[in-house]
Structure 1
Amino acid sequence: MTATDDLRAEHKGILHMLDVMRALSRHIEAGGTVPAAELTSILDFLKIFADKCHHGKEEDILFPALEAAGMPREGGPIGVMLHEHALGRGLIRDMDAALTSSVGPRSFATPALAYIELLTQHIAKENTVLFPMAEHLLGTPALTAMHEDFERLEEERIGPGRHEAFHRLLDDLAAEYLPE
């Protein structure tokens, strides 16, 4: 498996969580309730899996390798991706603040829907533009070796078994909130 294969596989899980978030947000907007614990679990997924682990792999390993291979940080895809990662972190903070506000989970939907839109477009750009460029620039041997670095980063940042626990959470939430 190469680094870009790993990132694409993680994108599938993240997109699935975005589908869950969309369903929950629409439910909230329609006046329904969602247990705060489930929203907190979603935020943990976003903070730890999507940002700390997935974006960490990109920011700490892939992007520096691309820069070393000649891709500029500013004025190109790396700069755009970093900017969008920062925007996403801001929206996660807004969702987090919504859960602790006096309004409660009702104010969660607006930043959640903005995050869903941002990340859906972000993932499409990475899958169709950045990753093919990385595969061309770096080649399969380098991306295969990079995957081993990804595995080490994941274990250091989130710990053993946590990736699998997030997938179980995602499966549970999808079973509850997504139509068959």
Structure 2
Amino acid sequence: MNTATGVLRQEHDAILRMLEVAEEAARRLDRGENVPADTLAGLLEFFRLFADRCHHGKEEDLLFPLLEKKGLPRAGGPIGVMLDEHEQGRSLVRQMAAAAEDYGKSDSTARRRWAEAARGYADLLRQHIHKENNVLFMVAESLLTDAEQAELARAFERVEEEKLGPGTHERLHALMDRLAAQVLAP
């Protein structure tokens, strides 16, 4: 059976892989090496669509409200912390986007700004994912029945189709593979 928390953990693995790509791109920028603008654009697309709209959307629109109904408070608990960190991540992605735009215009500070925002985003998301995998999802697994987990996993599929459109999930995974091969290859 595919559980909702299992789906989210698999998505975390994909996000962690792209954080490695972003950090390597940041190291290259720090060393003064050229990173193609389309690589930065691809990372931004992945983080905006897959990490935020798809993954965080599933959590914010479906998982968190269900956990609240089960008695887990939004304020003062793990849900509130996760929501705050989602907003921090969005802010860092906006900083990366602004720096990427300036990078395309040969702005001398763009490399440093993109690298700093990417490292901040990677640090934030690694800690965030650790908390979700080892705290929030464990709580969810103790609160949700097998039937609720299965229904939530089905709802995730429907929401993904609605938010991203047909074929986008596959396209983003292909993008992930291409970027990893491009940036992480020796």
Q: Which TM-score applies when normalising by structure 2?
A: 0.93
Q: Secondary structure of the residue that 2:144 maps to in structure 1?
A: helix
1:21/1:112 contact within 8 Å kept: yes
1:34/1:105 contact within 8 Å kept: no
Deviations 1:134-179 (A, max 9, x none): 0101122101101111001000000111111111111111112214
Equivalent residues, number = 180
Letter in 2 for 1:117: D
Partner in structure 1 of residue 72 of structure 2 = 71
How far is the alpha carbon of 1:103 from its aligned partner? 3.6
2:42/2:179 contact within 8 Å kept: no
- Structure 2 segments unaligned to the other structure (5+ residues): none
Percent same amino acid among aligned pairs? Answer: 52
Say if 2:168 is the partner of 1:162: yes
Q: CA RMSD in A?
A: 1.2
Cα distance in 1 between the residues matched to 2:89 and 2:21: 17
Change (3 A) 1:29 1:141: same
Cα distance in 2 between the residues matched to 1:173 and 1:37: 10
Deviations 1:51-73 (A, max 9, x none): 01100000000000000000000
Residue 180 (structure 2) aligned to one of 165, 174, 180:
174
How far is the alpha carbon of 1:38 from its aligned partner? 1.2
Residue 128 (structure 2) aligned to one of 122, 125, 131:
122
Partner in structure 1 of residue 138 of structure 2 = 132
- Structure 1 segments unaligned to the other structure (5+ residues): none
Letter in 2 for 1:140: D
Q: Which TM-score applies when normalising by structure 1?
A: 0.96
Partner in structure 1 of residue 8 of structure 2 = 7
Partner in structure 2 of residue 56 of structure 1 = 57
Cα distance in 1 between the residues matched to 2:110 and 2:49: 20
Cα distance in 1 between the residues matched to 2:8 and 2:93: 20
